[in-house]
Amino acid sequence: MTKNKFFFSSFFLLLALLIFLRSPCFFLDEGYWQIKYDSYYDYSLQNNFLKSILYVYDYGGYFEFARNIISKIASYFPFFSQKIDTYFSLLIYLAIFSYVYFSKSLIFNNKNYKILIIFLILFSPPMTPEVWLTAPHLKTYFGLFTFLLLLQDSSVLNGTKKILYRFLIIFSGLSSIYSSVFAPIFFLKYLFEKNKDKFLNFLCSIIPLSVNILIFFNLLNNANRFAFDIGKIESFSYNILIRPFFGSSIPKFFFNKLSITNLETILIAIFLILIFSITFAYKILKKKDKIVILIISSFILHSAFVLVGSLYPNFVGGRYSVIPGIILLTLFIRFYQLENNNFFKYSFGLLIFMSLLIGIVEFKYFSPLSYMLECKI
């Protein structure tokens, strides 16, 4: 066995072990999300294969192809349905990590950066226990996967790899509404390098977006969840601008210590958003980096989407902040790569390090939602 193969095998065994240790009961018992109470699973039990994999949950208002497939497979083995749900989720997690490790990215361009983004996806504070090892939240991981596909250096792909790449764009988009949202960014990427391959990649991203738009308008009366309330700004700023770097425990300690009210929180949130916007705009103009523009465009688009589309009328929950949070961390990695000023470079590096460190601390025991890792229904 070569040195690289040994490292890869050891590294992925470590990842699998860490995933198991975070919540052993998911593998040994029933997880927090019990599939037997899931409408997708219930529909699969009562319908044939074709109907099951084409199922659309009325209240959701979007298509989840991978979840449909897993639910149908689980319906053939009702006594092991929860385990099938968990192990398929694990396989998809590890498949995404494998893709990161072996693909050629525009930003994660060496082994150190590949390991860093894998650990951030595994450990960082945005990765709330709410989306952990369950088919209902695989759409979050497919959304992250599409973001990684967007950052793929597709110029190195040829033949079968191009076909596989485009298949993954379509499959991920059909499995996650979050993936569909990246279609305009694939078009932006095409505009940067106007060639046939980039345009075909964009066309592939349009397919799942078109499917979800048709579903949304067909179920408009049942899926009327797209609304905006000022209260969302407060939870948005906390979950997407603060928690990715500082976790949950530290901000809540200071907010409680200072007795900050909801109105004050909103004002602080608006101030933070303005500071972030000005900083990002300055960096874009200064660096003129196409990758930065792709990442920031992804962040703005996904942030707007979760602000309007989150389930609750006045709250953006932690599960909606996963993708914008990881995109924001990726942006800071890119700033670190580009920055020549040592003060700013080390500041970006420190924030990334803090995110990873606090994420490790909150990985199992110190998250506000840690009970979800203990299979307590």
**Chain segment 125-180, per-residue pLDDT in tens:** 888 888 888 888 899 999 999 999 999 988 888 889 999 999 999 999 999 999 99
Q: Could you tell me the two tokens for 373?
A: 């890792």
Residues 216, 74: Cα–Cα separation, whole Å: 27
The share of the chain scoring above pLDDT 70, in percent, equals 84
Q: Could you tell me the two tokens for 246?
A: 């500082």
Number of domains in the chain: 1
Residues 358, 367: Cα–Cα separation, whole Å: 10
Residues 277, 283: Cα–Cα separation, whole Å: 10
Chain-centroid distance, C-alpha 347:
24
Confidence of residue 318 (pLDDT cuts 50, 70, 90): confident
Residue 110 CB-density burial (10 A; 0-12 exposed, 13-18 middle, 19+ buried)? exposed
Residues 96, 249: Cα–Cα separation, whole Å: 29
The verdict on residue 107 lying in a domain is yes
Q: Could you tell me the two tokens for 290?
A: 């196409």
The verdict on residue 1 lying in a domain is no
Q: Is the pLDDT of residue 204 over 90?
A: yes
Residues 135, 175: Cα–Cα separation, whole Å: 11
DSSP 200-240: HHHHHHHHHHHHHHHHHHHTTTT-------THHHHHHIIII
The verdict on residue 11 lying in a domain is no
The verdict on residue 9 lying in a domain is no
Owning domain of residue 119: 23-374
Q: Is the pLDDT of residue 293 over 80?
A: yes
Q: Which amino acid is at 308?
A: V
The verdict on residue 12 lying in a domain is no
The verdict on residue 298 lying in a domain is yes
The verdict on residue 5 lying in a domain is no
pLDDT recorded at residue 314: 65
Residue 180: C-alpha distances to residues 143, 170, 268 (Å): 8, 9, 32
The verdict on residue 4 lying in a domain is no
DSSP-assigned beta bridge partners for residue 199: none
